Amino acid sequence: MNLGVAKRVGRILVRPGPPVSKQDATNLVGDLRQAAAAALGSVAEITGLTEACQAAAQVPVLVVDRRGFVQANVELAAAIAGAALEGLRLSWLARTGSGLQLGTVLAALSARVLGQFDPFYLSPAGERGRVLLVAPNVLRFERELAADPRDFHLWVALHEVTHAAQIAAAPWLPDWICDRLAEMVRIDETDGAFSRVARAARQLPELLAEKADLPDKVFGLFSPAQAYVFQEITAAMSLLEGHADVIMDAVGPNVVRSVDKLRPRFDARRVAKGRFERAARRLVGLEAKTAQYVQGAGFVRAVLSEVGHEGLNLVFSGPDALPTAREMDEPLAWVDRVARA
């Protein structure tokens, strides 16, 4: 993949954020940093992951604009490619095309994503991970939802620092993800999936016109062996996203005063309106991402009702403790296999 192309295209296509004065922008950046620092205490109290939250407190917090989001994700793509896709040889055309695609997708996401945790970042001191908060998007959603700024900043930060705590509790997880991706590439080298992807690209208009999410269609491009690995990765990502969503909602009104009002407003804003927006969301994977939140949160809540946070936290103990794709739909099967074993 040509990451230089991705960066240039992404930065060119990025749309400007909402209007804001210089002073208000400065205040917003400071408020988001404070929210991220304060949120970890609530995550530790709710989850019981005290040591992990203490470690996560050392993770840098970057408050970025939309171009900063693109830059950070190009760096993330470089880290993943270096760790998982080493040895893969693509033509100049394929590398340029994938760079164009990545840049376009990042530009679209840069106007939607509120925050992100990058588990592959290594600081100069050797610490792993960084939290990104996208200030223009936080401001935009805050205004659209008519949310209390302090509450909304803390609520958004809760989700992202929960991811930091997850990786601190499971430092093996980024390498596990890279290993799974590398396995998919190794399988691909023998079954010719790239030719299927090329054919699918020509069918993109038809895929977008259908009601099913694009990722569901792309899933059909994988060989059975690749599909199995992809399901493993998807189950893990759904767990992490759902867990973070549950934690951000579990904080009490004494911390986030309007927490009960934020979730329904936010979920209503997540729903795409109009055929074009739905197609665009499918194209960049936002529909699939929303589905991950829903499935993962359902799994987490079901497990919590059976074994509480102490039992749920076993998911971070090692790769064998991760839920399978089937267990994501049948949480009690995971409880029987892991928490009660």
The secondary structure of residue 319, as a DSSP letter, is G
Judged on CB neighbours under 10 Å (0-12, 13-18, 19+), 341 is exposed
**Of 153, 135, 142, residue with least CA distance to 68:** 135
**Number of domains, the chain:** 1
Q: Residue type for 340, please?
A: R
User: What is the full DSSP assignment across 260-313?
Assistant: HHHHHHHHHHHS--SHHHHHHHHHHTHHHHHHHHHHHHHHHHHHHHHHHHHHHG
Considering the entire predicted model, what is its pTM?
Answer: 0.83
Q: Give residue-wise pLDDT tens across range 59-108.
A: 999 999 999 999 998 888 888 776 555 555 555 555 566 677 677 778 88
**321 CB neighbour count, 10 Å cutoff:** 16
- pLDDT digit of tens for each residue in the chain (341 aa)? 567 777 777 788 888 889 999 999 999 999 999 999 999 999 999 999 999 999 999 999 999 999 999 999 888 888 877 655 555 555 555 556 667 767 777 888 888 899 999 998 987 777 789 999 999 999 999 999 999 999 999 999 999 999 999 999 999 999 999 888 888 777 655 555 444 544 444 444 454 444 444 445 555 556 777 778 888 988 999 999 999 999 999 998 889 999 889 988 888 766 544 444 444 445 444 455 567 778 899 999 999 999 999 999 999 999 999 999 999 999 999 999 999 87
Give the Cα separation of 7 and 60 in Å (integer).
22
**Of 23, 184, 218, 205, residue with least CA distance to 88:** 184
Q: Enumerate residues 6+ apart whose C-beta is below 8 A from 92.
A: none
Q: Residue type for 209, please?
A: A
Q: Give residue-wise pLDDT tens across range 190-228.
A: 555 444 544 444 444 454 444 444 445 555 556 777 778
**232 CB neighbour count, 10 Å cutoff:** 20
Q: Residue type for 156, please?
A: V
Give the Cα separation of 164 and 52 in Å (integer).
8
Cα–Cα separations (whole angstroms), residue 176 to 198, 199, 295: 28, 30, 21
The range of the structural domain enclosing residue 97 comes to: 3-339
Judged on CB neighbours under 10 Å (0-12, 13-18, 19+), 201 is exposed
Give the Cα separation of 83 and 175 in Å (integer).
8
Both tokens of 166, joined, read: 């997850």
